[in-house]
Amino acid sequence: MIRSARVLVVAGFLVVAGPALAQEAPLLDRELFFGDPAVSGGQISPNGQFITFIKPYRGVRNIWVKRVDATFDDAHPLTADSTRPVTGYFWTHDSRYVLFIQDLGGNENYRVYAVDPVASAAPATGVPPARDLTPYDDIRAFIYAVPRATPEQIIVGLNDRDPQLHDVYRIDINTGERELIIRNNENVAGWVTDNDGTIRMAVRIGSDGGTEVLRVDGDTLTEVYGCSNEESCGPIRFHQNGRQVYMTTDKGADVDLSRLILFDPETGEETFVESDPEQEVDFGAAAFSDVTNELQATIYVGDRVRIYPKTDAAARDLELLREKLPEGEISLGSATADERLVLVRVARDVDPGSTYLYDRETGDVELLYRSRPELPSEHLAPMQPIRYTARDGLEIPAYLTLPNGVEPRNLPVVMLPHGGPWARDRWGYDPYVQYLANRGYAVLQPNFRGSTGYGKRFLNAGNEEWGTGAMQHDITDGVRYLIEEGIADSARVGIFGGSYGGYATLAGLAFTPDVYAAGVSYVGPSNLITLLNSIPPYWAPIKKLFDKRLGDQNDPEDAARLREQSPLFSADQIRAPLLVIQGANDPRVNQFESEQIVVALRDMGRPVEYMLAEDEGHGFAGRENRLAVSAAMERFFAPHLGGRFQEEMPEDIARTLAELTVDVNTLELPEAGVAAAAAAAPLPASDGGVIEPRTLEYDVTIEVGAQEIGLAVTRTIEAASLDGQPVWRVIDVLESPMGAMVDTLEIDRGSLRPLRRAVSGMATIQLRYSDSEVAGEVGAMGQMTSVQASLAAPVYADGAGLDIVVAGLPLRDGYETTLRTFDAEMQRTRPMQLSVIGTETVETGSGAHLTFVVEVRPLDGDAAGTSTLHVMHSAPHHIVTSSTRLPATMGSGTMRVELDATYQRQN
């Protein structure tokens, strides 16, 4: 029986309910979304004789070639990479070579290769031989130009001399010989050639994070234009007159949206060309003729793409293409040398795209291929641009996709924040969006502040606002909006994202634990301090941008904020189940970023799952890996959010999923990673509530070579107050043949973090501790040294301070943690690994004690401080015996401690 239709206003747009919603979309096979496209990446050779494209060869995506008038079945492969898909390639202007780039397992150290498309295939591979034009290990090649005037040469940047900087070379494609053009001695981040392939401009980030545009005169660089660290500017292409250069800029106090200008590097003269006619978004892109170098069209990305032709010919092309092609976003691809034939792509939200051959002379438009012909667009879900208001009144642009055939009320939701974060989402086909919508989820993609394209004020509103700030609030406010609109079931909201989106996932679960029922972090950083410490070396020229937009870890205030904004340090707040996905070769967000939070959650008994691909980097490229990730994600979300999932799975994907899935109970952090994490990780929860006023007496023996020195230490623990704050005051009185020393330490009564330390006698120490610094002075025999140490994260005190922390830890068999102490003598922070390695009964002068055996091992490469402790089995875990290696300044001997007198409680 047909019901009458009704119209709902949902999120500001109309949704027809009734017959259109009577039938839920069928569950589509994940292969349709994440399997390899049938054909993609088509290009036409400049001579118009060949079409190249990408499709699988021996199970991996590779480059294929066919004659223009041949069928795709008649094509043959040009490359035969058996481990990683080839994705980036292009023709030389003389059509002699196809050049392509490839890295190793996702490490982004790209090399440039050349293959002759008409050469004979090697019997073993079935493809012509490819020559490596940049055969250097651990480098990343940048292609700056493929000059039309010298098609046998390319202009390439190589960082083989200095990993941080790219020198500029001319490489002969025929011979592979390279010629140095410019040695990068001035921290240049990028180079720009003119239309003949001559390096004419450069871009450098200044000491304050601003952009410097440089004119290149041989080896001389002259700054000719600049903008501040809250502005953006840079050249994009030289004008056809060869003198002026097109630039984008938003420079100026009264300017918000970036605009296109013409700039003369010799005179500094600036001519306005265009800004967004609708005054909504930044300048997007420009299309030029490679024959005349004439500007043909400007492009802006608002809610959807807008194209503005600049020549009569471009206007005719656009009108004809819109008339003959299906509805969707039109983009021009490669063209023949005379620009008569051009490849045109059309895509939309429910169609990943089709590619056509357009003949400008005849006006004919011929369909070449659909990238995913089996994907049924009629069952996919439209993507709608929306706006919602953040808590501070700022309007946030976003895209909402609602599942087909389901009334948009009380739906499970997946928030999908984009990566970057200095990027943006746009209207169009997204496999994850459509996949999740097909599983029954509403999907919201917020362009939170800090996203690009909406003006510099919107971008700069995200500066330093990660995690606990406005960038994350905008995502949270998107959830609130969907709940208020009645679209979202507040108990069934998940979050998923990659890169920065993965960070936003972790931040959402850690800082707003009541909002999300589950999260999936895909190559997302968990600790902003270790993230900044591990950025690729070739990002060094733009490091000041990170200091501006994220924070400078060398600044104590920024360092403290970065710690607060790192989900790792609030891992104890995460309650929702978490799935973490990581590529082992990721150069941007390294493996340790994922594993440190997985281990932290595991050790707290929180629900966490982990997937690791040994052959992937910052996002997965391999077919089986992509399908395994999608299967894991839908299986993970289903029980927590209530969406549908596909139970059946091909054998190869099931096998890959099993290989990628890591048993979190077996996960061990690498030594270097443990040290890096311990340097900034949250301090373990040591409970000052188990400490009581007591007196402990110890016999201490120092052994250096054949010499032994006997000491006696009386430790008194008493409740006290410091500046009105309840503290434990720990007083060690040491008696030795050289004299006496009194060490008084005051620590917070709850957290056991140090506040003040005073030592008198053989040595003098006066220190004040905070979360961000240790200040005071140390010395002996009247020679004093000032202490002013900035801290990346809070520390415990050494000596008695560490002993009391151990007394308050929740020790148990197998317990492990990392912590930090501040070494007052050396004025350094020392990260340490603490492990319970057994249980043992020991006899001392105070009797028999059941103890935990605790190993404390420094992680900074210095063995001094390595200790084996026997501590009381019942809390508080005071030391019964210990053996500690002494520093080289004390002869690298050993200090042994033994509880002597009866354990006493103070009244």
Q: Which two tokens stand for residue 220?
A: 């001389």
Q: Alpha carbon 75 to chain centroid distance? A: 39
> What mean pLDDT do residues 275-296 have?
97
- Within 297-449, where are the H helices? 312-324, 431-438
- How much of the chain exceeds pLDDT 90, in percent? 79
What are the DSSP calls for 175-208, one per residue?
Answer: T--EEEEE---S-EEEEEE-TTS-EEEEEEE-TT
pLDDT bracket for residue 20 (50, 70, 90): very low
Among 103, 250, 349, 586, which one carries the catalytic annotation?
586
Q: Is the pLDDT of residue 18 over 90?
A: no
Among 93, 418, 473, 618, which one carries the catalytic annotation?
618
Q: Which two tokens stand for residue 170?
A: 């001319």
pLDDT digit string (tens) for 324-351?
999 999 999 999 999 999 999 999 999 9
Q: Is the pLDDT of residue 905 over 50?
A: no
> What mean pLDDT do residues 214-222 have?
95
Q: Is the pLDDT of residue 907 over 70?
A: no
SS3 category, 274: strand
Give residue 14's pLDDT.
Answer: 37
Among 40, 232, 499, 882, which one carries the catalytic annotation?
499
Q: What is the DSSP letter of 795?
A: -
pLDDT digit string (tens) for 851-896?
999 999 988 777 788 999 999 999 999 999 999 988 766 666 899 9
Q: Is 228 a catalytic residue?
A: no
pLDDT bracket for residue 673 (50, 70, 90): low
Q: Is the pLDDT of residue 9 over 70?
A: no
**DSSP tally for the chain: helices H, then strands E:** 14, 54
pLDDT bracket for residue 24 (50, 70, 90): confident
Burial 258-284 (b: 16+ CB within 10 A, else e): bbbbbbebeeeeeeebebbeeebbbbb
pLDDT digit string (tens) for 408-421?
999 999 999 999 99
Report the 10 Å Cβ neighbour count for 1: 3
SS3 category, 653: helix
Q: Is the pLDDT of residue 8 over 60?
A: no
The model's pTM:
0.79
Q: Is 877 a catalytic residue?
A: no
Is the Cβ–Cβ distance between 411 and 437 less than 8 Å?
no
**Bridge partner residues of 307 (DSSP):** 299
Q: Is 723 a catalytic residue?
A: no
Give residue 5's pLDDT.
Answer: 32
> What mean pLDDT do residues 715-721 have?
96
Is the Cβ–Cβ distance between 90 and 103 less than 8 Å?
no
Give residue 394's pLDDT.
Answer: 98
Lowest mean pLDDT among 51-65, 456-470, 811-825: 811-825
Give the torsion sign (CA, 503, 508, 513, 518): negative
Which helix or strand (DSSP H or E) is residue 867 part of?
A: strand 867-872
In whole angstroms, what is the distance from residue 25 CA to residue 22 CA? 10
pLDDT bracket for residue 11 (50, 70, 90): very low
